[in-house]
Amino acid sequence: MEISSDLIIIGTAVLVAANCASIGVFLVLRKMAMMSDAISHSVLLGIVIAVFAVGGREPVAVIVGGVLSGILTISLVELLYRSGKLKQDSSIGIIFPFLFAIGVILVTQAGNVHIDVEHVLYGSIEFAPFDTLYLDELNIGSKSMWVLGILAIANVSFIVILYKELKISTFDKSLALSAGLMPLLVHYLLMIMVATTAVVAFESVGAILVIAFFIVPASAAFLLTDRLSRMLIISVSLGIISAVIGYLFAIFADVSISGSMATITGIIFGLVWIFGPNRGLVSRWRRISKQRFEVDLVIVLTHIHKELGSDRQVSTSSMSNSLGWTKEYSKKLSEFIQEQKFVEKNTQGNFTLTNIGLKKVENYSN
């Protein structure tokens, strides 16, 4: 079975993206995004200890060690946090650098562990095609693809089977508690899935890309929809798109693959943030300026009505003086109200209200 190495790298990345982006939705919604930061760093310690214990890079031992250290991280953070001595974010910021530091020292002090500390951060997805799995001496394809594929099945079944529980405990914890949906159990199961996903993904792409895939596509999806099911689909799609574009860019520019993928997730997030429908910065700004214009229309018509009532004249220049607007804005508004036939200009350049305008003003004052 021979697949080209490009396809294996893209496949690995796509599987990592899908795994992380789906679980990441719940992290973002539950305000636990930085937990993925903590877990994906402290996983190093578990992997190093597992390698020591078994004497080699056995995939099962590495995954078990990593998951255990992930659970250790979560438990320590919650222990510190629940003791009331520290806030949650401080607990995270103390536990993971500590565990990571121990991991780094173990790696550098023991010469026989084949772990490159820098590669821990940005992974070595480039080598995914060369790490193949053998079944009875038969090459059955890339190891990372197999492991990630199994993980994807586990993640999908986790989300599908516990969808109701996850959804309710995410949005309304007390309802989940009273409905007997065991939010605490769901919480710990979710954390175990996060740890497993982080370990497996970490092995192929490194800590930073794991965090990027966990948080960034899910955050972008959060800005695009209000439905959980859609958010999951959008998040996974954005993750996969970033993986593919990131890989192509990395090959084109001859730069780090995982770094390039992380950057692309950020660019996609930035595009959604600025240009997204409804919640994007541009559409928000448009909406706000439209609302402001409508309010100013009311102000200017009432102003003209009042001034005419007390026998004073209103022109474009007097408008900008008395209402404190710039000349350009007053000109724009006065042109608009003339176009709409709310007012007419007489020969001296002063405004008089038409019947339509008068009706409009009366509408406002009612």
Partner 1 sequence: MILEEILSIFLGIFTDYTLRYVALGSAILGITSGALGCFTVLRKQSLFGDAIAHAALPGIGFAYLFAGTKDSLLLMLGAAIFAWFGGMITLAITNTTRIKQDAALGITLSVFFGLGIVLLSYLQSIGGASQGGLDRFLFGQAAALIESDVINLGILSALCFTILILFYKEFKITTFDSSFGQSLGFPIKYLNVLLTSVIVVAVVIGLHTVGVVLMVSMLIAPAAAARQWTSNLKNMIILSAIFGGLSGIIGSMISSTAEGMSTGPVIVITITAILGISFVFSPKQGYLFKHLRNQRKSQISLDNIKTISDKEKENHGNI
Nearest to 348 by CA among 321, 322, 312: 312
33 touches partner 1 by CB under 8 A: yes
Rounded least distance, CB 33 to partner 1, Å: 4
Give the integer Cα–Cα distance in Å for 261 and 289: 36
Contact status: 19 vs partner 1 (CB under 8 A): no
Q: Could you tell me the smallest distance in angstroms from the CB atom of residue 360 to partner 1?
A: 34
Q: Which of 48, 20, 50 is nearest to 35 (CA)?
A: 20
User: Could you give the CA distance from residue 68 to residue 1 in angstroms, rounded to a whole number?
Assistant: 34
Amino acid at 319: M
> Among residue numbers 280 through 339, which ones bind partner 1 (CB under 8 A)?
281, 284
Instruction: Tell me: does residue 81 bind partner 1 (CB under 8 A).
Output: no
Distance between CA atoms of residues 130 and 237, nearest Å: 27
**Which one of residues 2, 136, 137, 254 is an interface residue with partner 1 (CB under 8 A)?**
254
Stretch that binds partner 1, among 82-90, 157-165, 170-178, 309-317 (CB under 8 A): 82-90
Residues 177-216 interacting with partner 1 (rule: CB under 8 A): 208-209, 211-212, 214-216
Which SS3 state, helix, strand or coil, does residue 134 take? Answer: strand
Rank residues 101 and 179 by Cβ distance to partner 1 and give the closer one: 101
- Measured from the CB atom, the residue of 6 and 89 that comes closer to partner 1 is 89
Among the listed residues 73, 142, 155, 258, the single contact to partner 1 using CB under 8 A: 258
CB atoms within 10 A of CB 328: 9
Report how far residue 228's alpha carbon sits from residue 230's, in angstroms, rounded to the nearest whole number.
5
Give CA–CA dist 40/204, Å, rounded: 12
Q: Does 114 bind partner 1 (CB under 8 A)?
A: no
Residues in the chain: 366
Q: Which stretch binds partner 1 (CB under 8 A): 29-37, 56-64, 306-314, 355-363?
A: 29-37
What's the min distance (Å) between Cβ of 123 and partner 1?
Answer: 10
Distances (CA, A) of 273 to 20, 34, 85, 235, 278: 21, 20, 36, 14, 10
User: Which phi-psi region, left, alpha or beta, contains residue 324 (left: φ > 0; alpha: ψ -120 to 50)?
Assistant: left
β-pair partners for 352:
344
Residues 118-177 that bind partner 1 (CB under 8 A): 118, 121-122
Quick check: 10 binds partner 1 (CB under 8 A)? Answer: no
User: Which residues are near partner 1 by CB under 8 A?
Assistant: 27-28, 31-34, 36-37, 41, 85-87, 89-90, 92-94, 97-98, 100-102, 104-105, 108-109, 117-118, 121-122, 208-209, 211-212, 214-216, 218-219, 222-223, 250, 253-256, 258-263, 265-266, 269, 273, 279, 281, 284
